[in-house]
Structure 1
Amino acid sequence: MKTLKRLIILTTLLSLLSISLPASTLKASPPHKNVILLIMDGTNSDILTLSRWYRGTDLQLDEILVGGVRTYSDQSAITDSAAAGSAMATGVKTKADYISMNPDGHPVLTVLEGAKLSGYKTGIVSTSPVQHATPAAFTSHTLSRDEFGDIGEQQVYQGLDVVLGGGAAWLKPQVKDHTKDDDGMLKTKQFSREDGENLVTEIGASGYDLILNRDELLRKGKSSKLWGVFAAEDISYELDRKALKPAEPSLSEMTHAAIARLSQGEKGFFLMVEGSKVDWAAHKNDPVGMISEVLSFDDAVGEVLDFARKDGNTMVVAVTDHGNSGLTLGNQGTNENYKSLPAEKFIEPLKKAKLTVKGATSQLKKDRSNLKEVVSSYGLGNLSSGEYRTMKDAKSMDDLESEMVKLMSKRANLGFTTNGHTGEDVFLYAYGPGRPSGLIENTDIPLVISEYMGFSLKTGKFADWYVNGEKFYRDMGFLVEIEGRTSNNPVMVAKKEDEVLRFPENKNFYWRNDEKVGLKSVNLYDGDTFYVHVEE
């Protein structure tokens, strides 16, 4: 009897629950999925070791080390950032300087574009101009990484949700930037978009919170869309930023703000974060600048991991795109005594620097009357008469910086093999569901990401997203021509009977007679061929 009563009560409760609960709660919705890809540009393994010694603790990166990545390009064992970024964005190895174009020069859809087209929110963060090679590879398509004007325009019309970094110079028809020349004289650099367009106006009209400094970034905005531009070109090295450019945000602060905006979406997001300037310092052979940016990047990794651990549905991948400089702990001067060199012998000279070599020389007066103070701010005090003479006799700012980093490397027992890129395999760091591991190709990264997010870059509609627009419309019976083929604003025009279609370069729309028609992607022109996506 008691059993029967219990059964009746249980049946009644289940009946009530089925009536009172809405259908949406009876069928669980799929979990959101986020991917954050962090790229540390131009970083070799020795600088990670040196940075760990410098900080005195393990890096955040150390906790998620899972393998390695091969970095070679389609044409060389040593890649550049354009080919490497394109490989990590599209899953296709390509040529140097190409931005998400295959080796034949045809545009290939990026994992960021695929995520956006699949309903995810998307964003990029960079300490370089956002038009630089790595962020460009995820957001644009050109045959040359130097086409900052076209890259910037495509980024604006891609409809990303968050863009944070430098690069104001390529957003307006005319921008002034106050800098110092090689003699320390203040001068004004003029930047100008060749097409005369004011992309800042378009950004504002597209619903973004447009912000220009750190204070504005740290305040909560109203829009889910955020565009922050904090420098005419690149954001300062982290070591210099605090002392010389406090109005600029740090990489970790930009990363935090990007995640806060992007995580407002229900489905999830894809975010690419680049610590751009390890590479820039490595080209100068400046170990102080390299450490500054490795630690800045590691702080951003910490920010990401804090979010990912709480979220539970976020894949994190961190990697460098290629090596640079051939930095070594040890040089020709340590051949005989390397067995008796504790870490302090490498670190103590570096810790005396208050600024990077670039930050130090930026303070040099025209008459060089403060040369000793400038050199000292880079940690090079107690100069011998010969060392001071070498600094004083440097003819240009580049020459002075070269002598300063040489002396620093000598004091810190460091070696450099080149001022260019290197071809070694690099570390792979990853965390979260679906993460990659082992020794992989750089082209595997976007394929792992896209699989986790539920779409494919290799099969289906995304595999051949961009088509030759001229050929497509001619095959449809249209008369096709390129207006202003050699101008700064070319347009593909297709005519058939009373219908005229006009496709402006780098825009996400076309005109059908007088009607503006929105597109899911931007129109592309490489100087010879117009590429478009044909809507279904």
Structure 2
Amino acid sequence: MIKKHQWNHLQVTITAGTLAVSLLLGLSGGTVSAATKEQPEIRAKNVIMLIPDGMSMDGTTLTRWYNGGKALALDEMASGLVRTYSADAAIADSAPAGTAFATGFKSHTGYVGVLPDQNTMPGLPKLAPGDAKKPVANIVEAARLAGKSTGIIATSEIMHATPADFSAHYPDRSNYDALSEQQVYAGMDVVLGGGATYFTPAGREDGEDLTKVIANSGYNIVKNTAELKASTSGKLWGMFADKAMANDMDRDPVKQPSIAEMTDKAIQVLSQNEEGFFLMVEGSKVDWAAHANDPIGIISEVNAFDDAVAKALAFAKADQNTLVIAATDHGNGGITIGDAGTTGTYDEEPLSTFIAPLKKAKATGEGLESKFNSKRTNIKAVMKQYYGITDLTAEEIATIKAAEKGKMNYAVGPMISKRAHIGWTTGGHTGGEVALYSYAPGGVQLTGVVENSDIAGYMASALQVDLANISKQLFVPAKTAFAAKGATVKWDATDARNPVVVVTKGNDTLRLPVFKNTADWNGKTVKLKGNVIHNGVQTYVPQDAVDLFS
């Protein structure tokens, strides 16, 4: 039985120099900030959010020194700090952290675009009964319904946690079938990244051919750099890798565009809409390098991400009607410049102690894997050629030889870190605050220490969209709403992998395929304002589906 829908009225407005956050009784997934911080009035036709997943501040510092001390594009945008904890943990997983950015609500590990089961962290309001796992609107949905163009970019699979947070709803980030299908039917204008396999029948448990659906929906599907640059379509879907794209240092520029090139192209396409646009850009693999304690991977991906920031910032400065926000969803690895080996000499070590070993590397740990022969009998030669390491220990050689496929960065990252005295505290995420970067028309910035869940409110206010109202429009509990119309709801699992919600009343029949925005109304196809969402417990439908029954 689906309980009666109870909604929190979340109003976030940045006006008259004050950020006013009203949390009224009802759905309680929002955040009460540790301190109220006045923010400047910001209005913008466009918003670009860039997320360098897992980028800790020592990682940006290391990258800057690697570049000879030259300022990053991010540097002039630095304006505050972001608190990254989730609904029930001090250290956040990417799924709830991205959900906070996209929707304004903190959530639980693995949960994409839905509320948590409970809020247990200090300062968070108690979750209302029946609200667990309830989908909540994201900024992409709000922008689309406001008539703006929308797009997402990632260097991972496009249905990975963070891009999915801005385009799908499901309490399991590993359910690529559910997430990718929603993305295909989400009505976005530009989608660029990896994960092509997961749109094919062979790569899906449900057997659907989503690549065909994408093509039939009017998208120009592009698969390499030249095709991306040549496209003149207003609807663009880039599939540049079967799974994740390569690290920038390892990338074949003919086969895969850089994240900067993807960002530049997306802005070109989306900015054609006079009503404006929203674009999310994720540098996904800073995080992957940090998990592996691979400093070369971090430098590669921070530099690539920063080039994308430069593209966004240049557009915003010329346009003067665009808000740009950059922030990572969490730290990762506990990276430090200096390790236990520099405890007694830290203030005597020249910069070259840390940078010179890194400058010898010609590939990230991930890219290095392809350089070894099948039996890995050339380990010494490869490490000398690509990393400048000539003093491998027997233990290190054994570690490289035993590395699993796809895990070479975990083997060699610590080796070069040791030689460069780059320290690490963990192979997982970290719970500290992260840097907030912002630029708004007139050079205005967001400042202070803010919650990750505040970011959605800043963006919504700038675009003048109401996320709470959009949630009411898009996520109506199906059973309750249709029962109120005198209709009967049944679950058709004839094809268990592609279930359909069937609603009947008299001679009227409405068939609602789960995770799609198309329905069959008495034999005719109708397009809904949003996707039909099933969270494993309940089904939610857009209000316009309910309104078909008079």
Q: TM-score, normalised by structure 2?
A: 0.85
Query: Which position in structure 1 is the counterpart of 2:155?
Result: 127
CA gap 1:384/1:202 in 2 versus in 1, 3 angstroms: closer
Is it true that 1:51 corresponds to 2:63 in the alignment? yes
The one-character-per-residue Cα deviations of 1:115-139 (angstroms, maximum 9, x if unpaired) are 0001110000110111000000000
SS at 1:340 equivalent: coil
CA gap 1:409/1:34 in 2 versus in 1, 3 angstroms: same
Question: How far apart are residue 476 of structure 1 and its match?
Answer: 1.5
1:234 maps to which of 235, 244, 257: 244
- Number of aligned residue pairs: 485
Task: Please say which of residues 356-365 and 90-99 is displaced more in the overlay.
Answer: 356-365
Question: How far apart are residue 517 of structure 1 and its match?
Answer: 1.4
Letter in 1 for 2:324: V
Task: Please say which of residues 406-415 and 276-285 is displaced more in the overlay.
Answer: 406-415
Task: Please say which of residues 373-382 and 250-259 is displaced more in the overlay.
Answer: 373-382
Query: Which position in structure 2 is the counterpart of 1:274?
Result: 282
User: Which one has a bigger Cα radius of gyration?
Assistant: 1
Query: Which position in structure 2 is the counterpart of 1:173?
Result: 201
SS at 2:61 equivalent: helix
1:521 maps to which of 520, 530, 540: 530
Question: How far apart are residue 391 of structure 1 and its match?
Answer: 4.8
**Is the 1:251–1:296 contact (alpha carbons within 8 Å) kept by the matching residues of 2?**
yes
Query: Which position in structure 2 is the counterpart of 1:145?
Result: 173
Query: Which position in structure 1 is the counterpart of 2:47?
Result: 35
The one-character-per-residue Cα deviations of 1:486-530 (angstroms, maximum 9, x if unpaired) are 811111111111111111011112111111111010111123311
The one-character-per-residue Cα deviations of 1:52-88 (angstroms, maximum 9, x if unpaired) are 0001201110011110100000010000110000000
2:95 maps to which of 82, 94, 98: 82
Is it true that 1:358 corresponds to 2:366 in the alignment? yes
CA gap 1:485/1:279 in 2 versus in 1, 3 angstroms: farther
**Is the 2:151–2:188 contact (alpha carbons within 8 Å) kept by the matching residues of 1?**
yes
1:370 maps to which of 371, 378, 383: 378
The one-character-per-residue Cα deviations of 1:164-221 (angstroms, maximum 9, x if unpaired) are 00010111102xxxxxxxxxxxxxxxxx2111111111111111111111111121x2
Letter in 2 for 1:93: K
Query: Which position in structure 2 is the counterpart of 1:5?
Result: none
SS at 1:163 equivalent: strand
Letter in 2 for 1:106: K
1:457 maps to which of 464, 467, 476: 467
Matches within 5 A, 1:385-534: 386=394, 389-391=397-399, 394=402, 396=404, 401-433=409-441, 435-458=445-468, 460-463=469-472, 465-484=474-493, 487-534=496-543
The one-character-per-residue Cα deviations of 1:24-53 (angstroms, maximum 9, x if unpaired) are xxxxxxx97110000010111111110000
Is it true that 1:319 corresponds to 2:313 in the alignment? no
**Is the 2:45–2:322 contact (alpha carbons within 8 Å) kept by the matching residues of 1?**
yes
Query: Which position in structure 2 is the counterpart of 1:184?
Result: none
Letter in 2 for 1:109: A
Query: Which position in structure 1 is the counterpart of 2:313?
Result: 305
Is it true that 1:339 corresponds to 2:347 in the alignment? yes
CA gap 1:64/1:213 in 2 versus in 1, 3 angstroms: same
Task: Please say which of residues 339-348 and 83-92 is displaced more in the overlay.
Answer: 339-348
**Is the 1:353–1:376 contact (alpha carbons within 8 Å) kept by the matching residues of 2?**
no
2:218 maps to which of 201, 207, 219: 207
The one-character-per-residue Cα deviations of 1:261-297 (angstroms, maximum 9, x if unpaired) are 0011011000000000000011111000011000000
Query: Which position in structure 2 is the counterpart of 1:249?
Result: 257
Question: How far apart are residue 385 of structure 1 and its match?
Answer: 5.5
- Cα separation, 2, equivalents of 1:385 and 1:529: 56
Matches within 5 A, 1:70-109: 70-103=83-116, 104-109=132-137
**Is the 1:360–1:377 contact (alpha carbons within 8 Å) kept by the matching residues of 2?**
no
SS at 1:411 equivalent: helix
**Is the 1:394–1:400 contact (alpha carbons within 8 Å) kept by the matching residues of 2?**
no
SS at 1:165 equivalent: strand
Unaligned runs of 5+ in 1: 1-30, 175-191
The one-character-per-residue Cα deviations of 1:422-461 (angstroms, maximum 9, x if unpaired) are 0010000000137422211111111111111111113x45
% identical equivalent positions: 44
- Cα separation, 2, equivalents of 1:115 and 1:215: 30
Letter in 2 for 1:330: G
Question: How far apart are residue 403 of structure 1 and its match?
Answer: 4.1
CA gap 1:75/1:485 in 2 versus in 1, 3 angstroms: farther
Unaligned runs of 5+ in 2: 1-42, 117-131
- Cα separation, 2, equivalents of 1:121 and 1:361: 40
CA gap 1:489/1:405 in 2 versus in 1, 3 angstroms: same
Question: How far apart are residue 401 of structure 1 and its match?
Answer: 4.4
- Cα separation, 1, equivalents of 2:233 and 2:401: 54
1:283 maps to which of 291, 299, 310: 291
- Cα separation, 2, equivalents of 1:89 and 1:205: 28
**Is the 1:473–1:494 contact (alpha carbons within 8 Å) kept by the matching residues of 2?**
yes
Question: How far apart are residue 378 of structure 1 and its match?
Answer: 4.2
Query: Which position in structure 2 is the counterpart of 1:157?
Result: 185
SS at 1:405 equivalent: helix
Letter in 1 for 2:241: A
**Is the 2:250–2:367 contact (alpha carbons within 8 Å) kept by the matching residues of 1?**
yes
- Cα separation, 1, equivalents of 2:246 and 2:144: 30
CA gap 1:119/1:388 in 2 versus in 1, 3 angstroms: closer
Q: TM-score, normalised by structure 1?
A: 0.87
